[in-house]
């Protein structure tokens, strides 16, 4: 087009045009194409214009900015909008964003909103709460909100930035690490805090290249070279200058199925339940199981004290890039890391004191005032006097058609998918327990500083989210409450769980965890797809342990499926398998009832099947 910058456009003739079509197309293409080849605009047509010869008439195609599901592209109007658009492009992995495009329609969610806020802080030296992205979901609206905040008489102060500290001494643990260390001392060596992931490899990996890539990641990330000895009864982080981890290779090629599959599952279960020695280390194991010439399984197992779910995404991303580099005969292309996890733990110990700590604690004191100490779910067995960690899991799926209805409800109510599913889970727990005051634990990534996004380490923070179901609310009423609570928790996420328990004087009971006994986690982190030119797919692994009475994990079923996957980790000393199956059935019926009529009272929503 004359007078307009060149851009790549896609013209689509769909059989159906659901609201998420363009986002789904963009997500699918981003998995296979480099950024510059992903269309900047998608135009939906009833038919493609043709020439008399039956070829596509390119001249008759409408200009992208004049049509399409997204309502056309409008460029940013001023420098602030341009900077914000650049931030969105970086976070969302897109090449062009219009000033009226909706952040969540483009694939954004609360975790990515946190990254946007982190970059706004760095770029504009201004602090905005995460809720601003939800309330101002376009570039134009966010720019106005940013200008308003910058012009305020008393802007929020920017926290003291994280800086590298000398390594001339043993460094303190972060608050989260300290909690896991004390738990390890109390219950003894256990696999309950093992963090494992596995992939099925469709090809034969080069063992030398894989071992190089693993040890290069260990060299880059101090957390993977750290142990936790006790000095005069107090734990310290001891960072080892070097650690060479041999790759364990297990050859199962002499076995045939079903014997091979049985032996693979036995060996993996044995590896997953092997406890780590926090003082002696190393705190990670990598095992390659060779099945045949074209199929292998790669298992990575770390202790949670040095890693978390986000970190596993960093691990697989770097493993892929380093493996590719080695196979191509090139040096590592990864940039050096200016900060490490120990710098964060030192910063946390210094910053989270005095006024900074008190300002966040004030919220939690108010939020948790008179909160119930125990969720009274009906159990199949009496609760032991000392909390056990024996567990099992049960998996389930939500059909794409139902999942799309849930997404549509979320968009209509201005909430994220996490908020909607949290609300459904809260209703389920309330109906089971008969309690109107529910506290559910939720993991917060705690990566709202750009400098720590590329690090491997234990950053995640479990925080209590309390929701009231009193007053006979409709489900849409409940969503408003959940939205407010979620945004408030994100604003006050810096207080570590253990410190929260101590500072609030929460009474401890050996039979259950403090503050909450049930948790909900939304898992939408990037999944490993390749190692070099070899395709890999995630392989579900479990450790037969449970940190809480119940934990519900939800996430996308796949890149193109459109459905949702679920997993319930449950304490098998409290619940029988049949009870969990029934709970999942009730959860599914609640979902169907909610998408059918979200204005219905949460107490009358159907839970039973016909």
For 198-247, write each residue's pLDDT tens digit.
999 999 999 999 999 999 999 999 999 999 999 999 999 999 999 999 99
Rounded to two decimals, the pTM is 0.79
Mean pLDDT of 183-196: 89
Q: Which residue has the higher pLDDT, 196 or 158?
A: 196
Q: What is the pLDDT of residue 153?
A: 41
| pLDDT tens, residue by residue, 17-30 | 665 677 677 657 75
If pLDDT is split at 50, 70 and 90, which confidence band does 37 have?
A: low
Sketch out the chain's domains with CATH numbers. 9-150 (1.10.1200.10), 175-327 (3.30.559.10), 354-526+543-596 (3.30.559.30)
If pLDDT is split at 50, 70 and 90, which confidence band does 521 have?
A: very high
Helix (H, G, I), strand (E, B) or coil at 266: helix
Q: What is the pLDDT of residue 589?
A: 97
**Residue 393 pLDDT greater than 80, yes or no:** yes
Q: What is the pLDDT of residue 69?
A: 31
Q: What is the pLDDT of residue 18?
A: 66
**Residue 155 pLDDT greater than 80, yes or no:** no
Q: What is the pLDDT of residue 30?
A: 56
| Nearest Cα to Cα of residue 221 among 153, 137, 315 | 315
Own/partner pairs for 69-73, CB < 8 Å, 24+ apart? Answer: 69/17, 69/19, 69/21, 69/22, 69/42, 69/44, 70/22, 70/41, 70/42, 70/98, 70/101, 70/105, 71/100, 72/98, 73/40, 73/41, 73/98, 73/101
What's the first-to-final CA gap in the chain, in angstroms?
A: 58
Mean pLDDT of 445-472: 91
**Residue 154 pLDDT greater than 50, yes or no:** no
Taking the C-alpha atoms of residue 388 and residue 424, their distance in angstroms, rounded to an integer, is 27
**Residue 353 pLDDT greater than 60, yes or no:** yes
If pLDDT is split at 50, 70 and 90, which confidence band does 578 have?
A: very high
Mean pLDDT of 506-525: 91
User: Which uninterrupted H or E stretch holds 327?
Assistant: helix 309-327
Q: What is the pLDDT of residue 27?
A: 59
Q: What is the pLDDT of residue 42?
A: 73
**Residue 2 pLDDT greater than 60, yes or no:** no
Q: What is the pLDDT of residue 363?
A: 92
**Residue 76 pLDDT greater than 80, yes or no:** no
Q: Which residue has the higher pLDDT, 70 or 493?
A: 493
Residues forming a β-bridge with 353: none
Q: What is the pLDDT of residue 571?
A: 97
Average pLDDT, the chain: 88
| Nearest Cα to Cα of residue 475 among 601, 604, 606, 608 | 601
| pLDDT tens, residue by residue, 412-433 | 887 778 889 999 999 999 999 9
Mean pLDDT of 574-584: 97
**Residue 197 pLDDT greater than 70, yes or no:** yes
Q: What is the pLDDT of residue 140?
A: 86
Helix (H, G, I), strand (E, B) or coil at 64: helix
Taking the C-alpha atoms of residue 347 and residue 90, their distance in angstroms, rounded to an integer, is 27
Q: What is the pLDDT of residue 275?
A: 94
Instruction: State how beta strands 437-444 and 461-468 pair.
Output: antiparallel
Mean pLDDT of 123-128: 82
**Residue 501 pLDDT greater than 80, yes or no:** yes
Q: At what angle do helices 400-413 and 475-491 cross, to 10 degrees?
A: 70
Q: What is the pLDDT of residue 378?
A: 97
Q: Could you tell me the two tokens for 461? A: 């923070």
């Amino acid at each position: 087009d004359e007078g307009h910058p060149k851009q790549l456009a896609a013209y689509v003739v769909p059989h159906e045009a659901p609201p998420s079509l363009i986002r789904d197309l963009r997500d699918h293409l981003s998995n296979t194409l480099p950024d510059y080849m992903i269309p900047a605009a998608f135009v939906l047509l009833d038919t493609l214009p043709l020439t008399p010869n039956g070829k596509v008439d390119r001249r008759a195609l409408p200009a992208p900015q004049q049509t399409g599901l997204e309502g056309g592209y409008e460029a940013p109007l001023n420098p602030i909008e341009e900077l914000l658009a650049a931030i969105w492009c970086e976070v969302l992995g897109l090449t062009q964003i219009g000033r009226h495009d909706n952040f969540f329609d483009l694939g954004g969610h609360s975790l990515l909103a946190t990254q946007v806020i982190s970059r706004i802080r760095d770029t504009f030296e201004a602090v905005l709460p995460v809720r601003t992205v939800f309330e101002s979901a376009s570039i134009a609206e966010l720019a106005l909100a940013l200008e308003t905040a910058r012009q305020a008489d008393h802007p929020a102060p920017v926290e003291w930035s994280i800086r590298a500290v000398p390594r001339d001494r043993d460094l303190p643990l972060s608050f989260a690490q300290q909690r896991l260390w004390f738990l390890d001392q109390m219950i003894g060596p256990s696999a309950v805090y093992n963090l494992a992931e596995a992939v099925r490899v469709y090809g034969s990996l080069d063992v030398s290249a894989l071992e190089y890539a693993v040890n290069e990641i260990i060299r880059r990330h101090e957390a993977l070279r750290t142990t936790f000895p006790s000095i005069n009864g107090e734990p310290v982080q001891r960072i080892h200058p070097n650690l060479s981890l041999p790759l364990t290779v297990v050859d199962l090629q002499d076995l045939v199925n079903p014997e091979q599959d049985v032996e693979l599952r036995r060996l993996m279960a044995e590896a997953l339940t092997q406890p780590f020695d926090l003082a002696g280390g190393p705190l990670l194991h990598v095992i390659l199981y060779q099945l045949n010439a074209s199929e292998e399984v790669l298992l990575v197992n770390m202790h949670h004290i040095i890693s978390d779910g986000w970190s596993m995404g960093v691990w697989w991303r770097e493993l892929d890039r380093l493996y590719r580099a080695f196979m191509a005969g090139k040096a590592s292309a990864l940039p050096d890391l200016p900060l490490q996890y120990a710098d964060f733990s030192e910063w946390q110990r210094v910053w989270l004191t005095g006024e900074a700590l008190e300002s966040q604690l004030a919220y939690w004191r108010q939020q948790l005032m008179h909160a119930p100490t125990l969720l009274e779910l009906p159990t199949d067995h009496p609760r032991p006097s000392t909390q056990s960690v024996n567990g099992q899991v049960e998996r389930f799926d939500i059909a794409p058609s139902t999942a799309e209805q849930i997404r549509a409800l979320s968009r209509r109510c201005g909430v994220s998918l996490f908020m909607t599913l949290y609300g459904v889970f809260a209703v389920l727990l309330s109906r089971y327990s008969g309690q109107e005051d529910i506290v559910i634990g939720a993991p917060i990534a705690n990566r709202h500083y750009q400098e720590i996004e590329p690090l491997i380490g234990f950053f995640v923070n479990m925080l209590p989210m309390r929701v009231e179901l009193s007053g006979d609310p409709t489900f849409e009423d409940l969503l408003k409450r959940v939205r407010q609570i979620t945004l408030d928790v994100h604003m006050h996420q810096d207080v570590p769980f253990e410190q929260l328990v101590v500072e609030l004087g929460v009474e401890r009971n050996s039979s259950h965890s403090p503050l909450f006994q049930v948790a909900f986690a939304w898992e939408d982190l990037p999944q490993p797809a390749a190692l070099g030119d070899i395709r890999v797919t995630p392989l579900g692994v479990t450790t037969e342990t449970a940190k809480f009475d119940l934990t519900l994990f939800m996430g996308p079923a796949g890149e193109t499926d459109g459905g949702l996957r679920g997993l319930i980790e449950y304490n098998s000393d409290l619940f029988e398998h049949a009870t969990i199956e029934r709970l999942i059935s009730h959860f599914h019926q609640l979902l169907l009832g909610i998408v059918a009529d979200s204005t219905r009272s949460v107490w009358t929503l159907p839970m039973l099947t016909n």
